[in-house]
Structure 1
Amino acid sequence: MELCLSPPPLHFSLGILAIGLINEALDEGDTKKTLQALQIPAAKLEGVAPKVAQHYQDTLLRAKREKAQVSAVKCTS
């Protein structure tokens, strides 16, 4: 029996690409790059305001680190 998988819809793949670009910008600590990544249409975010770019950077980086800590605790439990 052969399993036939179809590729994910294009919008799904573009969304994953947008998430990757946002994470890359966060890791680099580049606020301008993070803002640009958040504004990519595939990210499907509305009302991204350039004047609070540093807040986005700080908040998303903190959330990413907290998620990593929770994941690490789950893996060791």
Structure 2
Amino acid sequence: MPTVNIKITREGATPEQKAELIAGVTDLLQRVLDKNPATTVVTIDEVELENWGIGGLPVRDYRAAQAAKAAKP
């Protein structure tokens, strides 16, 4: 029984988007690894932004730094 855990930041993913993720991951496991969709478990954890870090920075600071880099000519 495959189990997949998806972690995303809590920023308003809709129930429809989550359903699409669940269906897509289940389909991928079936196509690539021939796993049975009936026994495939997909969970989605939403993490508050202040509890997520990238590159040693809280995600908001990381995004701000990336945006500043992209804005430079």
TM-score by length of 1: 0.30
Q: Which has the higher strand share?
A: 2
Q: Which has the higher helix share?
A: 1
Q: Using CA pairs under 8 Å that are at least 6 residues apart, name the structure with larger relative contact order, 1 or 2.
A: 2
